[in-house]
Chain A
Amino acid sequence: MKRALSVVALLLIAALFALPILWLVTAPFNPKPTLGLQLAKPTLRNFEGVFRNPTAVRGLRNSLLQAAAAMLIATPVATMAAYAFSRASFPGQHTILYFLILLSSVVSGVSAMVPLYVLMQTLGLIDKHVGLVMVYVGGLLPTNMFIMKDFVDSIPRAYEEAALVDGSTPRQVLLNIAFPLCRPGMAVIAVLIFVSTWSNFLMPFILLRSASKAPASVAIYTFFNEVGIPLIGLIAAYSFIYTLPVVVLYLIVNRKFGFRFYGGIKG
């Protein structure tokens, strides 16, 4: 009885959560898409429209470029720092960690958008992929470093200690023992970094100017016809394509590693 009530309540809440999402899975396949919900004969024409639209394709390519670059830089950098904070002890360690947590929650995109813009302008990095990627890396490092540190903390030190006792050099320990042990954690933060960069709107919106560099999140706001009517078919299909990698990556991480709470909470 009590379980039945819980199930009913849960399904009701889930239905309410699902309602706004329905548009995303129906409109892209609708031959005459509107903002409403219609089930018509499904078509892939809207997707053809996306791939025929140069701005749309370029947007996806830019998103991929920016997210991949941020991921390839931030993942090893965060892992090295996490390993250092987990396996070494040096003076001021706890103070540094304390300030990193504090910084990561105090300095958000919103609170830093103006100084970041001025900084990028001073460095001549406005409207440059490099500038945007650097800002992403700086913003994502604290959180992902903590997630990674929690992961390294959970690996018994005995592995490395045994190898050292057996006469391995520190270099060998790092490459042959520590790195393979860290890989699952690195995969998780790589996905998290990729997804948050891929989804970001505010930073490219402020730091980029040319339409040719705009990622998908910004490009989607240019899908209007000459008189300013939104091209709903294009927007719907584009939204679908743009969302797909995020959902797929989430499912992979969830299945392989489970959705655990790392970092943040424990500090």
Chain B
Amino acid sequence: MRMQYDNPILSRRAAAVFALPTLVFIGVFLAFPALWAIYIGLTNLRLTGISAIQPRFVGFANFVSILRDSFFHNSLRITAQFVLGSALIGQLLLGLLLAVLLYNVKGPINDIVSSIVILAWIIPEVVVAYLWVAFLDYDFGLLNATRNLLGMPAVNWFFSHPVLSIIIFNTWRGTAFSMLLMGAALQTIPPSFLETADVIGASEWRKFRDIMLPLIRPHIITNAVLITIWTFNVFGPFLLTGGGPAFATDLVSIYTYRNAFKYFKLGYGSAISTIILAINLILASVYMKLARRGRA
């Protein structure tokens, strides 16, 4: 918590004027849509036809159909695998590993390695999708070409391992954040702790387990919650697979898009949005609680 100052530099009135545009923008384009989603979700609003002009109030009918829809169950299951695989296992573990390795290595190698990982993070989403379509292509892709060179058979990745494909894709895409955050966390460890461990001849693994890990644990948990929220809200795999083949990569985000904009069921889509917002709210509340504890 910051100190309260008796004579602030900015008067209250000026502060209100300064903050107003931000609050209006956020109110109209962020807070209001979130609340409105709940209302639209209770109607049969459609993109076309009579229900587009005169939507009817249908109560919880949309929610009931969603919870009964086997496609929704399918997309929940896939999303759970996707978040577990690409956020908690992929990005978090790989990011932590990279951060620990980079901690020991400074100089140009550090710069090169972190630049490449960060590059994967900043390239625009659509380009990344094309890169992976090319990389995993059955006939020409670099991955199968490499396998051929090693005498292994080519694999039709998107067809045989659809969920794994988007998990690896998203791990590649997002690891930079965890690497940077974990790296920043490691920098907060007093060097003397590790030097003392060196003096008594502790192994690398023991130094990691007994010194680094306990000290950065709060950051690891915060990171885990953050990337869980983000991965849950990712739309990128749509560009890679469109949700297919045969709904095998139909993440909740893609399921929402499909129902609202392909089947024109805006009311139904909005009800799914409400469910996503509720899940986000739970995850974000966990994050806020952790962040508060971290500051106290």
Binding site for B on A (CB under 8 A): 2-3, 6-7, 9-11, 13-14, 17-24, 27, 34-37, 77-78, 80-81, 83-85, 87-90, 94, 96, 98, 100-119, 134-135, 137-139, 141-142, 145, 153, 157, 160-161, 164, 170, 173, 195, 198-202, 206, 216-217, 220-221, 235-236, 239, 242-243, 246-247, 250, 259, 261, 264-267
CB neighbours (8 Å) of A206 from chain B are 257, 261
Q: Which residue of B22, B125, B141, B175 is within 8 Å of A36 (Cβ)?
A: B141
Question: Chain B: interface residue count, which band?
Answer: 35 or more
Give A110 to B276 CA distance when docked, in angstroms.
8
User: With contacts A88-B8, A145-B22 known, is A23 near B142, CB below 8 A?
Assistant: yes
Q: Please list the residues of chain B having a beta carbon within 8 angstroms of any beta carbon in chain A.
A: 1-2, 4-5, 8-12, 14-16, 18-19, 21-23, 25-26, 28-34, 36-37, 40, 45, 94, 97-98, 101-102, 104-105, 109, 112-113, 116-120, 122-127, 130-135, 137, 139-143, 145, 172, 175, 180-181, 184, 204, 222, 226, 229-230, 233-235, 239, 252-253, 256-257, 260-261, 266, 269-270, 272-273, 276-277, 280-281, 283-285, 287-288, 291-292, 295
Contacts of B126 in A (CB 8 A): 201, 216-217, 220-221, 239, 242
- Inter-subunit contact A243/B123 (CB<8 Å): yes
**Separation of A161 and B124 alpha carbons in the complex (Å):** 43
Task: Give A208 Cβ to nearest chain B Cβ, in Å.
Answer: 13
Given contacts A90-B16, A201-B125, A261-B184, contact A80 B21 (CB under 8 A): yes
Can you list 21 A-B pairs with a CB-CB distance of less than 8 A? A10-B98, A13-B101, A14-B113, A17-B172, A19-B142, A20-B131, A80-B22, A84-B16, A96-B19, A100-B26, A109-B233, A115-B34, A115-B36, A116-B29, A117-B260, A117-B261, A141-B25, A141-B30, A170-B14, A206-B257, A239-B127
Distance between B24 CB and nearest chain A CB, rounded to angstroms: 9
Q: Are A90 and B12 in contact (CB under 8 A)?
A: yes
Contact B19 A85 (CB under 8 A): yes
For B25, the closest partner residue in chain A by CB is A138
CB-CB under 8 A for A110 and B266, given A81-B19, A103-B31, A261-B181: no
User: Is A113 a contact of B15 with CB atoms below 8 Å?
Assistant: no
